Structure 1
Amino acid sequence: MVIYDANVLYGNTLRDLLIRLAMTGRVQARWTNSILDEMQRNLAANRPDIPAEKLDKLRSLMNSAVRDCLVEGYEPLIEGLKLPDADDRHVLAAAIKVGARVIVTSNLKDFPADYVTPWDIEVKSPDDFVLDQIDLDGRVVWACVQQIADSRISPPETVDDVLDALEAAGLVEAVAALRAG
């Protein structure tokens, strides 16, 4: 079981890949309404061209795409947790609540090992997380990339376009592994 932090759900192509990996059933992905609120706030602030209704629809589609994705009842744990940034404690609390083994985040420094290993939780960058998935079964990851390319029709995108977008989103080693595959 993994918790996806808001920053890995922000970018369109990375979010699409992470959601599709969860839809395969090989990854039990979870998030909270607070994580989605943060994602939505940041998208609204940085992309004022995206209407609020479209952001609401995105949230709804995410929640319906991944079975049992919403973590609830983690709030009482927040106060007792320590992290360098107190605003990140809700992510760790959600991970503890569901017994997640991994938090996938682009902000590794916000979840130092000293704070998360007592809970038997590992923190991984999206690149390392996707590399792990490739090591488990690269064909599944490749199929997800192909599905993303197939779904992008306006404008059309190729697998190489999707890989380029993932690489730009920080999946440098994972994309290299897929291209070498």
Structure 2
Amino acid sequence: MSFVVIYDANVLYGNTLRDLLIRLAMTGRLQAKWTSRILDEMQRNLAVNRPDIPEEKLGKLRLLMNSAVRDCLVEGYEPLIEGLKLPDPDDRHVLAAAIKVGAQVIVTSNLRDFPSEHLAPWEIEAKSPDDFVLDQIDLDGRVVWACVQQIADSRVNPPEAVDDVLDTLEKAGLVESVAALRAG
């Protein structure tokens, strides 16, 4: 059985963190999942906070994400939503999707919205992006380092070095992960 994770909208919002999480999924070491509703939330927040990004570019981002990670879209989870309890009822769709696909982890920046007592019955754990990436480094730091290098190599306008990517990830909250990569 593969390791299945749900990426919440808030971890898919920032460009560099999203890029890293998708590249980790593309390695085949884990199966990343999300729903159209999660992508709607990400896209809606980007449209509000980044009006400089044209709507068609946001649509293209969504298509690229869905084509980059095989079998990423979760469907048919909606009937589970009503029976779930979370501090914020608007987050129940994320838990429902995780239950539907048998995910072990929900990667989210809003840990307080996914308390362990509500996730435990389904053997699901909520992890911050920093803890999740740190786990990936513990499994094989070379794979994570290669993903960071790929991001740096893909940034040509303007060009970025690995240190620039690490700085951006650190600003996005991956403090311990970046420290581990720099020490590694």
Q: Please report the TM-score for the alignment, with normalisation by the length of structure 2.
A: 0.98
- Quote the Cα distance in structure 1 between the aligned partners of 2:29 and 2:158: 30
Give the equivalent residue in structure 1 for 2:9.
6
Query: Which of 142, 146, 149 is the matching residue for 2:152?
Result: 149
Deviations 1:9-65 (A, max 9, x none): 000000000000000000100000000000000000000000000000000000000
Give the ranges of 4+ consecutive aligned residues of structure 1 lying more than 2 Å apart after TM superposition: none
Give the equivalent residue in structure 2 for 1:24.
27
Give the equivalent residue in structure 2 for 1:64.
67
- Quote the Cα distance in structure 1 between the aligned partners of 2:169 and 2:141: 15
**Residues 1:38 and 2:41 aligned together:** yes
**1:101, CA displacement in angstroms?**
0.2
- Quote the Cα distance in structure 2 between the aligned partners of 1:131 and 1:163: 13
Give the equivalent residue in structure 2 for 1:87.
90
For the residue of structure 2 that corresponds to 1:68, the secondary structure is coil
Alignment-mate amino acid for residue 41 of structure 1: R
Deviations 1:93-142 (A, max 9, x none): 00000000000000000000110011100100000000000000000000
Alignment-mate amino acid for residue 68 of structure 1: D
Count of residue correspondences:
181
Q: Please report the TM-score for the alignment, with normalisation by the length of structure 1.
A: 1.00
Give the equivalent residue in structure 1 for 2:127.
124
Percent of aligned positions with the same letter in both sequences? 86
For the residue of structure 2 that corresponds to 1:123, the secondary structure is strand
- Quote the Cα distance in structure 2 between the aligned partners of 1:151 and 1:121: 34
**Residues 1:107 and 2:110 aligned together:** yes
- Quote the Cα distance in structure 2 between the aligned partners of 1:157 and 1:52: 26
**Residues 1:47 and 2:47 aligned together:** no
| Structure 2 residue runs without a partner (length 5+) | none
- Quote the Cα distance in structure 2 between the aligned partners of 1:81 and 1:99: 15
Alignment-mate amino acid for residue 29 of structure 1: A
Query: Which of 159, 168, 172 is the matching residue for 1:169?
Result: 172
Alignment-mate amino acid for residue 79 of structure 2: P
**1:163, CA displacement in angstroms?**
0.1
For the residue of structure 2 that corresponds to 1:2, the secondary structure is strand
